[in-house]
Amino acid sequence: MQVYLVGGAVRDQLLGRPIKDKDFVVVGATPEAMLAAGFLQVGADFPVFLHPTSKQEYALARTERKSGHGYQGFHIHASPDVTLEDDLQRRDLTINAMAIEVKGLFDDTPLSGEVVDPYGGLQDIAHRQLRHISSAFSEDPLRVLRVARFYSRYFDEGFTICDETQQLMRQLVDSGELNHLSAERVWQESSRAMMQTSPHVYWQQLYHIGALASYFSALDDAWQDSYSREIIQSALYFAGQMQLNLSQRWALLMASLDRTLFTSEPITEPTTDNKANGKPAATQAIAQIGNTAKVPKAQTQFATLFMLQASHLNNIESLSAAQQIELVQSCGAHKQPDKLSQLLVTAQVLRLARQHIQIMQALSSYHAINMQDIDPTLKGAAIGEALTQARIDHLRKSNHVSL
């Protein structure tokens, strides 16, 4: 019997990141041997056991063979003759397919500290690459979401998804396999990605490969407008930097569904034209996404409240006393004052994102104009004046900017 620390714990140890959970693979063991050692089996058909004291997971080395649709459509084979390399090969990415042998079931001290790396995970860490192990990657549609989540997690460390893996992800999307994922697993991966430092990267990647249509079709439609997409991605970036909670981040993502939130003009109440059945169309879209992707009620309600109160949240200083009391009551702030504070912060982050995009457009216009774009016969101060005016004209012609 050989015991190995595997997966995320090895990866994060090599990256110098905190280790949250430890997972182990046991080679050469049987379920009977694990039970006799006092371990508790998790599930009847899955060879995973909980340590009797630490409650950490110890899985028997196993292989998987595709036998149906979705991430559950696999036949699992676990026996003492399955090698560590066989077990690691079934994993998604090379950086998740490394192991370190430990002394035994009841002593997780590394035996030598040597990293077992049969598929090039160490090299991919050095090159900051997220790369699939084999073509078997295409057998599990959940890996599309997992890779996008890992991308959002390690984006700040310079990781990218290699082109071949991107291609397999697109093929999985095109095959329709994502439609066989349970909504619960989609939300589990998406909510975990939302709480990373760079949550915008997850949604940007899914949009890029066409993976939003299955469970977030309204969001996919809204993001066809590049300006809306840029603002929300910027807002999610700031949300990650400012450590906003899940409800706030979800509300910012759902803000994609209301185009009026992206204007630099004061936000007004929804008009009759964008209402349906007495409610703004955007709030209906939030409810539809919530039902399709099994979004918890707390996140859906917060996003809906944010959408309905956006006009007031963005114009607090100009509200009358009556409007301020109405806002307090509508947000339930008389019972939950923190909720109103969270809504105000969310509104300010969205405003910050709009301002950031606009000033980046100005910076782009500044760099877009040089000496070749003005009259070559100009001299002295006239050169600077002409450059400035040409940059102003360029910015005025840019999308979404009216000066």
pLDDT of residue 69: 53
Residue 27 lies in a domain: yes
**What is the tally of structural domains in the chain?**
1
Amino acid at 291: N
Residue 99 lies in a domain: yes
3-class SS shares of the chain: helix, strand, coil, % to 5:
55, 15, 30
Please tell me the distance from the alpha carbon of residue 344 to that of residue 333, in angstroms, as a whole number. Answer: 12
The CA–CA distances, whole Å, from 203 to 85, 264, 306 equal 33, 24, 20
User: Which token pair is 288?
Assistant: 């539809």
Residue 38 lies in a domain: yes
pLDDT of residue 263: 62
Per residue in 341-364, pLDDT tens? 999 999 999 999 999 988 988 998
Residue 37's domain spans which residues? 1-121
Residue 15 lies in a domain: yes
Q: Which residues of 138-167 are buried (b: 16+ CB within 10 A; e: fewer)?
A: bbbbbbbbbbbbbbbbbbeeebebbeebbe
CATH code for the domain in which residue 53 is found: 3.30.460.10
Find the distance separating the first CA and the last CA of the chain, reported in whole Å: 73
Q: How does DSSP classify residue 95?
A: G
DSSP annotation string for 186-246: HHHHHHHHHTSS-HHHHHHHHHHTT-STTT-HHHHHHTTSHHHHHHHHHHHHHHHHTT--H
pLDDT of residue 279: 54
Residue 22 lies in a domain: yes
Which helix (H) or strand (E) segment is 3 a member of?
Answer: strand 2-6
Please tell me the distance from the alpha carbon of residue 82 to that of residue 85, in angstroms, as a whole number. Answer: 8
Residue 300 lies in a domain: no
Strands in 40-42's sheet, in edge-to-edge order, are 40-42, 48-50, 57-60, 23-27, 2-6, 99-104, 107-116
Residue 311 lies in a domain: no
Per residue of the chain (403 residues), give pLDDT as tens.
Answer: 899 999 999 999 999 999 988 999 999 999 999 999 999 998 666 789 999 999 999 999 988 765 455 455 556 788 888 999 999 998 999 999 999 999 999 999 998 889 999 999 999 999 999 999 988 898 889 999 999 999 999 999 999 999 999 999 999 999 999 998 999 999 999 999 999 999 999 999 999 999 998 899 999 999 998 888 999 999 999 999 999 999 999 999 999 998 888 765 544 444 434 444 445 788 999 999 999 999 999 999 999 999 999 888 888 888 889 988 988 888 888 888 899 999 999 999 999 999 998 898 899 899 999 999 999 999 999 999 999 999 999 888 876 544 4
User: Which token pair is 256?
Assistant: 């994609």
Measure CA 89 to chain center: 25
The CA–CA distances, whole Å, from 106 to 29, 38, 103, 174 equal 14, 11, 8, 46
Rounded-to-10 torsion of CA 136, 140, 145, 150: -40
Residue 115 lies in a domain: yes
